[in-house]
Amino acid sequence: MTKTHLAARVGDRTFTEAEVEARVATLRRGPLAPRLPRPGTADARNLRRWVVQVMTYEAVVEEAAATLNLPPRPPRTEHGLSLADALRMGGVTAAVLASLPVAPAVRAWVTADVAVPEPVLRDYYARNRDLHPGLYEAERPAIEHELHQAAADRHFTLWLERRHAESVTLMPGYEHPADPRHADATHRH
């Protein structure tokens, strides 16, 4: 009988090494395969760790969606996330929003009360006249949209990171790629 090795646990849900390897194999068959690190290297082990991060973050979002009985929503744009959105949120949050159909619904629920105060809008307008040369009343909707998106992205990312920290257990060898406890930790936050 083969022993099943765990990679991570999210609440009552477990992820096995085989599931992680299957997800990595899917990536290796996909359009970005030439950009992935060679198997057996430190970078390949960090890729596997990053895949575990994505899988466990997806599980956190799926658990929240199930608890809240939220249906999937279409992505925020026709083409998925913009580069600016992805950079603002960070890799794992952006990956989850791009790959998991229910994630935008969870983001909308988590960020429903996010608002940008009027003084912040006016201050931004005053500091960015080169970007917004018109009268404040004309520029305000675009400024509010931009700052609201940024605030909502920050709020969702922080919420997701907190939920992940509370409910996820990563097994040895599957730590975050920047975790200094493993020998392959080459990037820092």
Q: Structural domain of residue 22, as residue ranges?
A: 6-170
Q: Please indicate, yes or no, if residue 27 is contained in any of the structural domains.
A: yes
pLDDT of 80 higher than 90:
no
pLDDT tens digits along 116-144: 999 999 999 999 999 999 999 999 999 99
- Count how many domains the chain has: 1
Nearest Cα to 90, choosing from 178, 1, 183, 2? 178
pLDDT of 152 higher than 90:
yes
- Counting DSSP H helices and E strands in the chain, the numbers are 7, 3
Nearest Cα to 173, choosing from 28, 57, 7, 55? 7
Confidence class for position 18, pLDDT limits 50, 70, 90? very high
- CA 157, CA 92: separation in Å to the nearest integer? 9
Element (H, E) at 52: helix 42-68
Q: Please indicate, yes or no, if residue 180 is contained in any of the structural domains.
A: no
